[in-house]
Amino acid sequence: MTKPNVESPTLEVFEQALQNVRAVAIETPVLHSHYLSALTGQEIFLKAENLQRTGAYKLRGAYNRMSKLTAAERKKGVVAASAGNHAQGVALAAKKLGIKATIFMPVGASLPKFQATQNYGAQVVLEGAVFAETLKAAQEYAAKKGAIFIPPYDHLDVIAGQGTVGLEVVQQVPDVKTILVAIGGGGLAAGVAVAAKLAAAKQGRKIQVIGVQSENAASYVPSLKKGTPTQIHTSPTIADGIAVSKPGAIPFALIAKHLDKVVTVNDNQIATAIVALLERSKLVVEPAGAVAVAALMTGKVKPRGTTVAVLSGGNIDPLLLQKVIGHGLEAAERYTTVTVMLPDRPGQLVKTADAIAKAHGNVVEVLHTRHGKGLDISEVELQMSVETMGHEHRQRVFEALNAAGLKVKK
């Protein structure tokens, strides 16, 4: 299979899209990050689409596409399939345009996303255990009812809408040299790469745009190598918003031509980025929205000049956020779980706690097990969760345990 021959949209297409989406989408702020600037040695800014209406940039593409429907098409209603952000974007756009929307979501969709979509007035149908089944059900329903299917990324009007993020970045950060953006199906990255480069070229400047994928769903890496959208086997990732197993045909063609490179980050790195954004920038960002920052924090992307990381969404279920914070703190070595094998004698618990206290570690949880697989009859397994202040401090806690003669399980 060869690449589809897609003509790149012009700057006027994106400017028109920006005028369209202004009816619903705000110009999200660009915030300077002192923390990331100090970490990378370059000026780093955050494009806060997590503060967009509906909590993600997706509204832009959905609205741009739907605003172009004829009166006759609008009467037929729209249908979409999504586990989250596209659902909310289509639902709000439909409400604004007075169109009936039917949104298919997978059975396990998170409650906040389900409720938000319903609250925008869409009819929500829960169908399919996996997304492919949900998508199939939505497409069949659209065909049966004659309704208009709104794709999440594989349409030029959707891509033009998402590209308005890139136009805003170039206006808001006139000396931007690099833009980092998440990739799932590729609509956002394709739109931003084409739009931002055209807008910068108009000012006589050249910029680079870099895409970031989750390591467990990095379909663009083999696809770009082979020169064609390639189906991959994805593994679970916390970045559900970008867990797409095959690039969209149209975004792929544009990305192959206009994106400078693609890097990947893993779940631990994403969790660490979410915690840093919460703690340092006071921003709530969902996993898919934090991959650009993860790429900067891990050094996967070494920024050259003023850099903007797009925070593409902020819709994170509080239950997942709770898990991610625990995970992110563990990954940043701010939280350490130590397991010590002790003889079953009085005073051992105190001895362990004392060693940790001497290293200034704060114990937050204790699990004391006397029976279990692999334990000798006279042995006890003690697990302690300890607040630590990073790598060095964690090492000091382990050194203190070893110095006290305790048997630390590796």
286 binds ligand PLP (CB under 6 A): yes
65 binds ligand PLP (CB under 6 A): no
Using Cβ positions, the residue closest to ligand PLP within the complex turns out to be: 313
Q: Which stretch in 182-190, 337-345, 351-359, 399-407 sits in contact with ligand PLP by CB under 6 A?
A: 182-190
Exposed/middle/buried for 5, CB within 10 Å: 0-12, 13-18, 19+?
exposed
Q: Which stretch in 193-201, 230-238, 240-248, 270-278 sits in contact with ligand PLP by CB under 6 A?
A: 240-248
Whether 101 and 90 have beta carbons less than 8 Å apart is answered as: yes
Exposed/middle/buried for 374, CB within 10 Å: 0-12, 13-18, 19+?
exposed
242 binds ligand PLP (CB under 6 A): yes
CA 228, CA 245: separation in Å to the nearest integer?
A: 13
Q: Which helix (H) or strand (E) holds 212?
A: strand 208-214
Q: Which stretch in 19-27, 184-192, 339-347, 394-402 sits in contact with ligand PLP by CB under 6 A?
A: 184-192
Smallest gap from residue 360 Cβ to ligand PLP (A): 39
Nearer to ligand PLP, 250 or 384 (CB): 250
What is residue 257's three-state secondary structure?
helix
Q: Which residues contact 354 (CB under 8 A, 6 or more apart)?
A: 404
Nearer to ligand PLP, 47 or 197 (CB): 47
Smallest gap from residue 145 Cβ to ligand PLP (A): 24
86 binds ligand PLP (CB under 6 A): yes
Binding-residue total with ligand PLP (CB under 6 A):
23
289 binds ligand PLP (CB under 6 A): yes
189 binds ligand PLP (CB under 6 A): yes
Mind giving me the DSSP string for 64-76? HHHHTS-HHHHHH
Which of 161, 163, 186, 303 touches ligand PLP by CB under 6 A?
186
CA 78, CA 93: separation in Å to the nearest integer?
A: 10
Smallest gap from residue 119 Cβ to ligand PLP (A): 18
Residues 99-158 that bind ligand PLP (CB under 6 A): 152-153
Q: Which two tokens stand for residue 66?
A: 């739907």
Which of 85, 110, 117, 237 touches ligand PLP by CB under 6 A?
85
Distances (CA, A) of 246 to 153, 192, 295: 12, 19, 21
270 binds ligand PLP (CB under 6 A): no
Nearer to ligand PLP, 269 or 388 (CB): 269
Whether 267 and 216 have beta carbons less than 8 Å apart is answered as: yes
187 binds ligand PLP (CB under 6 A): yes
CA 295, CA 276: separation in Å to the nearest integer?
A: 13
24 binds ligand PLP (CB under 6 A): no
Smallest gap from residue 342 Cβ to ligand PLP (A): 46
Smallest gap from residue 391 Cβ to ligand PLP (A): 30
Three-state SS for 99-167 is CCEEEEECCCCCHHHHHHHHHCCCEEEECCCCHHHHHHHHHHHHHHHCCEECCCCCCHHHHHHHHHHHH
Residue with tokens 């997978």: 106
Q: Which stretch in 36-44, 94-102, 192-200, 239-247 sits in contact with ligand PLP by CB under 6 A?
A: 239-247
161 binds ligand PLP (CB under 6 A): no
Tell me, residue by residue from 300 to 329, as one string, x for binding to ligand PLP by CB under 6 A and - for no binding.
------------xx----------------
Q: Which two tokens stand for residue 14?
A: 């994106």
288 binds ligand PLP (CB under 6 A): yes
Comparing CA positions, the residue from 240, 301, 294, 254 lying closest to residue 271 is 294
**Which residues sit at the interface with ligand PLP, rule CB under 6 A?**
56, 58, 85-86, 152-153, 162, 182-189, 241-242, 244, 286, 288-289, 312-313
